[in-house]
Amino acid sequence: QLQLQESGSGLVKPSQTLSLTCAVSGGSFSSGGYSWSWIRQPPGKGLEWIGRISHTGSTSYNPSLKSRVTISVDRSKNQFSLKLSSVTAADTAVYYCARVGPGGYLSYWGQGTLVTVSS
């Protein structure tokens, strides 16, 4: 059974860079046809797609976040990462990682990790 686990700093100061990693276990990280995504959910609000990366490293980002987001992959460690720069309180959210199937469905999700932006 494929499992995803987010890790990273739970508290980030305004204007700094948020960094998270998603470790993938129980399956092939480099399966053709699948990519890997980050999604976030501010407290009490809905889901927002952040971006995705293929196992080859090709990326796509939400246009509203594109200038601040970088998603990268480390195939040797079966993990992928998120960096979000110049954070503000509006970036406070639970951040999820997920596997993306062909056409964009998110079939496996991590448990989520809360990141708070505060001084």
Partner 1 sequence: QSALTQPPSASGSPGQSVTISCTGTSSDVGGYNYVSWYQQHPGKAPKLMIYEVSKRPSGVPDRFSGSKSGNTASLTVSGLQAEDEAEYYCSSYAGSNNLVFGGGTKVTVL
Segment contacting partner 1 by CB under 8 A, of 7-15, 17-25, 85-93, 109-117: 109-117
* Euclidean distance between CA atoms 44 and 39, whole angstroms: 15
Task: Examine residue 37 and tell whether it contacts partner 1 (CB under 8 A).
Answer: yes
Query: Residues near 36 by Cβ (< 8 Å), separated by ≥ 6?
Result: 22, 24, 52, 53, 54, 55, 71, 73, 80, 97, 98, 99, 100
Least separation in angstroms between residue 98's CB and partner 1 is 8
* Euclidean distance between CA atoms 2 and 18, whole angstroms: 26
* Euclidean distance between CA atoms 83 and 81, whole angstroms: 7
Segment contacting partner 1 by CB under 8 A, of 7-15, 19-27, 78-86, 110-118: 110-118
Neighbours of 18 (CB within 10 A): 23
Neighbours of 39 (CB within 10 A): 22
Nearest to partner 1 of 44, 119 (CB atom): 44
Residues 45-84 that bind partner 1 (CB under 8 A): 46-49, 52, 58, 60, 62-63
Site string for partner 1, 6-35 (x = CB under 8 A): -----------------------------x
Which residues contact partner 1 by CB under 8 A? 35, 37, 39, 46-49, 52, 58, 60, 62-63, 96, 100-101, 103-107, 109-112
